[in-house]
Amino acid sequence: MTSSLKDHWNKKYTNTPITQLGWYESKSQLSLQLIENCAVSKDSVVVDIGSGVSVLIASLLELGYVNLYAVDISDVALEKAKALLNQEQTALVHWIVDDITNPTNVLQLQNVNVWHDRAVFHFLTEEQYRQTYHSLLQKVIMPGGFVIMAAFALNGATMCSGLPVQRHSVESLSEFFGDGFKLIQSLDYTYQMPSGDLRPYVYTRFQKI
């Protein structure tokens, strides 16, 4: 695992109140909508990659999903995320600390039905890391499974959390996914940061063939 990257995110989560994070949402409304659109059963394997302290996990538990995986490079983030839940809820979630640019634990996942990535893939500015991510998806997503990806749009910011990002369009994401996945849904969404600044995102939902 890249220790400097892990340190970067751990510092961010240690030093910033959750509601002040530049990607904080009080409700993961769009993500939930796209996950529900997949219409999978509640015992399906649902992975939130780069989950951070998102309330998505709590909302999915409330909706009855029972096979959830929260994955992040930051153990600090996952500990804070656990603290948002009660003991029973925490025990229902698989918590995995891993780096998607050099995955180990996540590679052990199998038959993933829904993979959700909000504001993580866009940090992969190097082709080699995007290839690693693609190989990971090919390995762990089951045929017919879904990948929901939300990234900064082409007219979005060039940095996030002090790190450079690669901005995306439906076309660039379709190119990344390639022939093994088909585009099912896409939409533009402008997120308002706690500071009031606006961040245009592109949301996509792909299905593995």
Residues that bind ligand SAM (CB under 6 A): 5, 9, 23, 50-52, 54, 72-74, 77, 99-101, 118-120, 123, 160-161
Three-state DSSP class for residue 135: helix
Q: Using the minimum distance from each CB to ligand SAM, give the nearer residue, 40 or 124.
A: 124
State the nearest-atom distance from the C-beta of 119 to ligand SAM, in Å: 4
For β-strands 93-97 and 163-164, DSSP reports them as: unpaired
- Tell me the C-alpha to C-alpha distance, in Å, between residue 30 and each of 16, 117, 187: 24, 12, 10
Q: Using the minimum distance from each CB to ligand SAM, give the nearer residue, 51 or 67.
A: 51
State the nearest-atom distance from the C-beta of 101 to ligand SAM, in Å: 5
Beta carbons of 208 and 141 less than 8 angstroms apart: yes
- Which residue type does 31 have? S
Beta carbons of 133 and 121 less than 8 angstroms apart: yes
State the nearest-atom distance from the C-beta of 85 to ligand SAM, in Å: 15
Q: Using the minimum distance from each CB to ligand SAM, give the nearer residue, 46 or 160.
A: 160
**Rounded CA gap, 49 and 177, in Å?**
16
State the nearest-atom distance from the C-beta of 209 to ligand SAM, in Å: 26
Q: Using the minimum distance from each CB to ligand SAM, give the nearer residue, 63 or 159.
A: 159
Q: Using the minimum distance from each CB to ligand SAM, give the nearer residue, 41 or 190.
A: 190
Three-state DSSP class for residue 119: coil
State the nearest-atom distance from the C-beta of 185 to ligand SAM, in Å: 18
Q: Which tokens is 207 given? A: 């299905």
State the nearest-atom distance from the C-beta of 179 to ligand SAM, in Å: 26
- Tell me the C-alpha to C-alpha distance, in Å, between residue 185 and each of 85, 116, 169, 170, 172: 31, 14, 13, 10, 14
Q: Using the minimum distance from each CB to ligand SAM, give the nearer residue, 3 or 179.
A: 3
Handedness of CA 174, 176, 181, 186 (dihedral sign): negative
